[in-house]
Amino acid sequence: MGIFTHEFATPSSVAPARLYKAMALDFHNLFPKIVDSIQCVETIEGNGAAGTIKKITLVEEIRTKKKDIVYILIMIEIYVCFEEVDEAKWVYNYSIIGGVGLPETWEKISFETIVMEGPKEEGGSIRKVNIKYFTKGDAEVCDEVLKSNQSRAEGLLKFIEAYLLANPHYV
């Protein structure tokens, strides 16, 4: 088994406590409202604390490049296990442990995430993410996959940030 690590930090203009709540504690309610491809988030086991397993159902649209455009909708299920949820430290760690979103050559993908105060002069927050890819056998993870997954994670943060800025009543 191999372990490939990729770290990055993303700034946000949202206060850390609000961002943490949306990303870690209330994502099962917010994500289906904000992200079109996420149909639902269901709790399979647990109460939201460490050990909780959730199923995320997504729909992806595929278009052909031919003159007569054909749309194909694909349902994707991803299983996520929360390993640490610490509201006092704004830490949430979870792993994708199964489903179509996990290639057969990977055992799991772990996300270690912390939300921190942003620079004093700018306010807001910074979300630091350390992604670990646990591969089976001698499988590797190419740079293109690392960059693509970082881009998705940053894009998701921007969706949440836009929602929170547009909805100041959300605490």
Domain parsing of the chain, residue ranges: 2-35+82-166
Are 30 and 162 in contact by the 8 Å Cβ rule? The answer is no
Q: Look up the pTM and report it.
A: 0.86
Range with top average pLDDT, 57-66, 84-93, 100-109, 139-148 = 84-93
What DSSP string runs through 77-97?
EEEEEEEEEETTTTEEEEEEE
The confidence score (pLDDT) of residue 129 equals 96
User: Which is the CATH superfamily of the domain at 2-35+82-166?
Assistant: START domain (3.30.530.20)
- Check pLDDT > 80 for residue 110: yes
Q: What is the pLDDT of residue 41?
A: 95
Residue percentage of the chain with pLDDT more than 70: 94
